[in-house]
Amino acid sequence: MIRRTQQIRKRILETLLCAQGYAVPEETLRSYVDDFERPPTTDDEWAADIKFLSDPPAPRMVKVPAAMDDKLIQWTITEAGRALLASL
């Protein structure tokens, strides 16, 4: 289970890194991650991994407000996320 959790977190950060600084909608992010993970992530796994990667004191990803849609959740990678990904 620990290996799967690490793999999901790595896929999340890799996807955000590939966006080259652009914010990625959470729905798109999850879809990309699930393209590589079998079985696809459960809602509980997803929530736990997003919480782990976005929690202070050193969030590896941050939520980005959408200019035109208050309900849209978007994410981008931080320097801490880049550093973590480089160490994996």
Residues 14-40 have pLDDT tens digits of 999 999 999 999 999 999 999 999 999
Which pLDDT value is given to residue 44? Answer: 97
67 vs 78: which has the higher pLDDT: 78
Structure confidence at residue 42 as a pLDDT band (50, 70, 90): very high
- Residues above pLDDT 70, as percent of the chain: 99
53 within 8 A of 2, measured Cβ to Cβ: no
d(CA 18, CA 81): 12
Domain ranges (residues) in the chain? 2-87
Sheet holding 74-77, edge to edge: 24-25, 74-77, 61-64
Which pLDDT value is given to residue 34? Answer: 96
Residue 19: DSSP 8-state: T
DSSP string, 35-67: HHSSSPPPHHHHHHHHHHHH-SSS-SEEEE--S
Q: Please give the C-alpha separations between residue 10 and each of 42, 53, 63, 68, in angstroms, as whole numbers.
A: 16, 10, 17, 29
Which CATH entry fits the domain spanning 2-87: 3.10.20, 3.30.565, 1.10.10, 1.20.120?
Answer: 1.10.10
Which pLDDT value is given to residue 67? Answer: 86
Structure confidence at residue 78 as a pLDDT band (50, 70, 90): very high
